[in-house]
Structure 1
Amino acid sequence: MGNHTLLFLPLLLILSITTTISAHNITEILSDNPDYSQYNNFLSQTKLADEINSRQTITVLVLNNAAFSSITSKHPLSVVKNVLSLLILLDYFDNTKLHQITNGTTISTTLFQTTGNAQNSVGSVNITDIKGGKVAFGSAAPGSKLDSTYTKSIKQIPYNISVLEINAPIIAPGILTAPPPSSDVNITALIEKAGCKTFATLISTNGLIKTFQSTADKGLTIFAPNDEAFKARGVPDLNKLTNAEIVSLLQYHAAAKYLPVGSLKTTKDPITTLATNGAGKFDYTVSVAGDSVTLHTGVDSSRIADTILDSTPLSIYSVDSVLLPPELFAKSPSPAPAPEPVGAPTPTPASAPSPVADSPSPLPASPPAPVDGGPVGAPADAPSSAGHSSSEKSAGVHVKASAVLTFTVTALSAFVVSTVFMS
């Protein structure tokens, strides 16, 4: 009995203390230092904090209030968001990795490149280990200068998120040019160009475009079904709907708030829509699988296919299916049953299962940085890793026990108890 117990106790102990890092929170990481209050505030205003928190591997280049004010005091929110997006690298860099860059220079893609507003290499950043132990940053666009320098490390959760301070914003060609205000955006033209002509025609002929346009300046998100979605089997015949039902259906495809992809990925609550009223919720929930985002109405579901526009405070997406609210369509449309033989018992009706969109696999995380100390012979005046001590703190990190490990521990514990009593 004792031998069996001693055999399994070490394994149980190891499994029971194993945990999984589940998330990071950039606003919590920066909240301890008032020098980054402006930067932190604008991450929340632009919803970029949600995008950062939804990413598995990322580096955030932070500016203190003095350096960041040169942007915030002269430019609108849409431009500030572009500048911030260029400071969010889709790779992991810490103090050690910065000083061990192969050949002394590398190019990193940024969040700005994913917005669709960056042409060629404008959305990438040049990182160069220069003489004297300093590391410089600049736009990867040809002819750009390395005007920003790494000053210190703030926080690392290897190899999940790294937060580093730089002394000046990275300015790419054209990034300070303000996009047109939301009221000047031609919503129908954008939607038509994206292959959603049927939806564009419907919102125009039913007067919804005026509602969308007036709401856009305060925050608006549109989910436009593509043309194939209206031809899909099970989509109701719009000619059989009343005018009020058609308007509610179209309103159901828009939310009166700005929801970029990062916000959709991190939202936990149901999303209310322009159709929401006292008589019905007219909302939907969100599920995420890797980089795929799916909306669930309770009747059907639809994958977000593409981002048509992401310009604070307006976002427009194309979706694969027409979103059907339960308030108008109590259950999923199903094909008519085949005729039964005379005298056959009547089968109990069953609701057709809701379609589930295929989700692409998550993108692989970037290779981890070296875990050893600095390179042999590294310059003495290299920036200090002031944030290494802060990595021992729990701010911005949520830890939870792995469900699989919990199940394993429970099973093994039962086995040990059974073995003991049997012996």
Structure 2
Amino acid sequence: MASTPLSLTILTLTPFLFLFLHSNAQTAPAPAPSGPVNLTGILDKNGQFTTFIRLLTETQVASQIANQINSSTEGLTVFAPTDNAFRTLAAGALNGLSDQKKVQLILYHVLPKYYTLANFETVSNPVRTQAAGNDGPFGLNFTAQGNQVNVTSGVVETQINNALRQQFPLAVYQVEKVLLPEELFGTKSPTSAPAPEKTPAETPKNKDSKAAEPSPSDNNDSGPRKTSVGLGLVVGLGLVCMGALS
């Protein structure tokens, strides 16, 4: 019988407890939806990609990437060269590019798929990039040894260092060299030296004319022979005349 008042108390308080919990559930703020992924914001936060950000903006590749990130089911992967990587380029390497080639250079740093660092250990080379030319997409090659992953363009090779972001739909990796596509920066084959001019071959006419010319030795030999023959004739005639007179 002593438990009866306790039971009545619990039954009396239950509706109030339910209303209290329900009220708190309605007033609790819902988690804020995640906003669109901002590539330039990620780069700007790290503070050493000002040149890459400027090129992304000037070429409008930043806007293209923003649209793809938020609409693609494959995601994207971006290799971000540091400011120091751009400073190590040869003088005039960027200024000498046309606007179209600058776009190709920046798109060469973008893969049309999301890759983790572990994915690069098993990819089939070459891996297609967003850059393309008359012969099709430009490619990159990846090699892995242990936990180290290297990327090569055929002109430069560098290690993939820091993962600035590795969460679908966007992966951003820091690189210490600008990835120069071979299609734009490949070494040209040296110009072959002109062949030496050939001297004109001797014609049969020239050969015959040379053969017909008397050699100096022939001229020198004929002089004494002719003199000795003439002298013999004179002596012979003299002897004949002396015989006739006697």
Tell me the TM-score normalised to structure 2 length.
Answer: 0.58
Could you tell me which residue of structure 1 aligns to residue 38 of structure 2? 186
CA contact (8 A) 1:280 1:327 kept: no
Cα distance in 2 for residues equivalent to 1:255 and 1:314: 10
Could you tell me which residue of structure 2 aligns to residue 200 of structure 1? 53
Structure ranking higher on relative contact order (CA contacts 8 Å, 6+ apart): 1
Runs of 4+ in 1 over 4 A off after TM superposition: none
Matched to 1:276, the amino acid is: A
Structure 1 residue matching 2:57: 3-state secondary structure:
helix
Change (3 A) 1:203 1:290: same
From the two aligned structures, give the one with the greater helix fraction.
2
CA contact (8 A) 2:125 2:140 kept: no
What stretches of structure 1 of length at least 5 have no aligned partner?
1-176, 333-345, 347-423
CA offset at residue 317 of structure 1? 0.8
Structure 2 residue matching 1:258: 3-state secondary structure:
coil
Could you tell me which residue of structure 2 aligns to residue 253 of structure 1? 109
CA offset at residue 211 of structure 1? 0.9
Cα distance in 2 for residues equivalent to 1:237 and 1:298: 17
Cα distance in 2 for residues equivalent to 1:239 and 1:324: 14
CA offset at residue 315 of structure 1? 0.6
Structure 2 residue matching 1:190: 3-state secondary structure:
helix
CA offset at residue 268 of structure 1? 2.5
CA offset at residue 233 of structure 1? 4.5
What stretches of structure 2 of length at least 5 have no aligned partner?
1-30, 194-246
Cα distance in 2 for residues equivalent to 1:271 and 1:326: 14
Could you tell me which residue of structure 2 aligns to residue 84 of structure 1? none
Could you tell me which residue of structure 1 aligns to residue 211 of structure 2? none
Structure 2 residue matching 1:302: 3-state secondary structure:
strand
Tell me the TM-score normalised to structure 1 length.
Answer: 0.35
Structure 2 residue matching 1:247: 3-state secondary structure:
helix
CA contact (8 A) 1:271 1:284 kept: yes
Could you tell me which residue of structure 2 aligns to residue 211 of structure 1? 64
Cα distance in 2 for residues equivalent to 1:236 and 1:248: 17
CA offset at residue 311 of structure 1? 1.4
RMSD after superposition: 2.2
Change (3 A) 1:288 1:235: farther
CA offset at residue 320 of structure 1? 0.9
Identity across the alignment (%)? 32
Kindly name which structure, 1 or 2, has the bigger radius of gyration based on alpha carbons.
Answer: 2
Cα distance in 1 for residues equivalent to 2:117 and 2:177: 18
Change (3 A) 1:289 1:280: same
